[in-house]
Chain A
Amino acid sequence: MGNFFDFIVEHLTQFLHFTAFANLTVGHLIMICIGLIFIYLAIAKEFEPMLLVPIGFGILVGNIAFAPGYQIGVYESGSVLNYLYFGVLNGIYPPLIFLGIGAMTDFSALISNPKLILIGAAAQLGIFGAYCLALALGFSPTEAGAIGIIGGADGPTAIFLSSKLAPDLMGAIAISAYSYMALVPVIQPPVMKLLTTKKERLIRMKPPRAVSKVEKIIFAIAGMLLTTFIVPSGLPLLGMLFFGNLLKESGVTKRLADTAKGPMIDVVTILIGLTVGASTQATTFLTLKSIGIFALGAASFVVATFGGVMFVKIINLFLKEGHKINPLIGNAGVSAVPDSARVSQVVGLEYDKTNHLLMHAMGPNVAGVIGSAVAAGILLSFLA
Chain B
Amino acid sequence: MRKRKTYLIPGILAILLIISGTGIGKAQNASSLRFNEILVHNDSNAVDDFGQHSPWIEIFNSSFNTVNIGGCYLTDDLNNPTKYWIPTGTPSTKIASRYYIVFWADNHPTRGVFHLNFTLEEGKTIALFDANGKTLLDKIEIPAGQKPDVTFGRKTNDSNDWVYLDKSTPGADNDYSKKKSAGEKFVEFDPYGIGMTVIAMMVVFAALAILYVIYKNIGKFFIRKAAPKPVALTSESKVVVAEEEMSGEVNAAIAMALYLYQSEMHDYENTVLTINKVSRNYSPWSSKIYTLRKIPNNR
A residues at B contact (CB < 8 Å): 108, 110-112, 114-115, 117-118, 120-122, 124-125, 127-129, 131-132, 135-136, 140-142, 144-145, 165, 207-212, 214-215, 218-219, 222-223, 226-227, 230-231, 356, 359, 367, 370-371, 374-375, 378-379, 382-384
Contact = CB atoms under 8 A, between A and B. Distances in A.
B204 A141 contact: no
Contact of A374 (B183, B197, B208, B252): B208
A102 to B, nearest CB: 15
Contacts of B214: 222, 226
A207 B207 contact: no
Contact of A226 (B181, B187, B211): B211
A103 to B, nearest CB: 17
B204 A375 contact: yes
A378 B246 contact: no
B200 A112 contact: no
Contact of A131 (B184, B197, B209): B197
Interface stretch (B103-111, B161-169, B217-225): B217-225
Interface string B196-233: 11011101111111111011101100110010000000
Contacts of A135: 187, 191-193
A135 B192 CA distance: 6
Nearest to A133: B193
Nearest to B210: A226
A211 B201 CA distance: 29
B270 interface: no
Nearest to A166: B183
Nearest first, the 7 closest Cβ-Cβ pairs linking A and B are A141-B183, A132-B193, A207-B247, A128-B197, A383-B183, A114-B215, A208-B248
B249 interface: yes
Given A112-B219, A384-B182, A212 B208 contact: no
**What is the interface of chain B mostly: helix, strand, loop, or mixed?**
helix
B208 A207 contact: no
Contact of B197 (A132, A370, A383): A132
A115 B214 CA distance: 11
A215 B252 CA distance: 18
Contacts of A367: 208
The residue in B199, B211, B222, B249 that gathers the most chain A C-beta atoms within 10 A of its C-beta is B211
Contacts of A231: 203, 207
A358 B223 CA distance: 23
Given A207-B249, A375-B204, A111 B192 contact: no
A209 B222 CA distance: 11
Contact of A382 (B183, B206, B248): B183
A375 B212 contact: no
Contacts of A141: 181, 183-184, 186-187
B250 to A, nearest CB: 8
A118 B193 contact: no
Given A118-B205, A383-B186, A215 B222 contact: yes
B215 to A, nearest CB: 4
B292 interface: no
A351 B191 CA distance: 44
**What is the interface of chain A mostly: helix, strand, loop, or mixed?**
helix
A211 B226 CA distance: 10
A140 B205 CA distance: 26
Contacts of B223: 209
Given A112-B219, A135-B187, A226-B214, A209 B248 contact: yes
A375 B196 CA distance: 11
A211 B251 CA distance: 11
A121 B186 contact: no
A231 B209 CA distance: 14
B289 interface: no
30 contacts: A110-B215, A112-B219, A115-B216, A117-B215, A118-B209, A120-B208, A121-B205, A121-B207, A124-B204, A125-B197, A129-B197, A132-B192, A132-B193, A135-B191, A145-B183, A165-B183, A208-B248, A210-B246, A210-B248, A215-B218, A215-B222, A218-B218, A227-B211, A230-B210, A359-B248, A359-B249, A371-B204, A378-B203, A382-B183, A383-B181
A212 B183 contact: no
Given A141-B183, A207-B248, 6 more contacts: A114-B215, A118-B209, A121-B209, A135-B187, A210-B248, A222-B214
Contacts of A122: 205
A125 B219 CA distance: 28
Contacts of B246: 210
B18 interface: no
The residue in A208, A375, A383, A384 that gathers the most chain B C-beta atoms within 10 A of its C-beta is A383
B212 A117 contact: yes
B272 interface: no
B194 interface: yes
Contacts of A124: 200-201, 204
A230 B207 CA distance: 7
Contacts of B200: 124, 127-128, 375, 378-379, 382
B194 to A, nearest CB: 7
Given A112-B219, A359-B249, A140 B211 contact: no
A145 B203 CA distance: 16
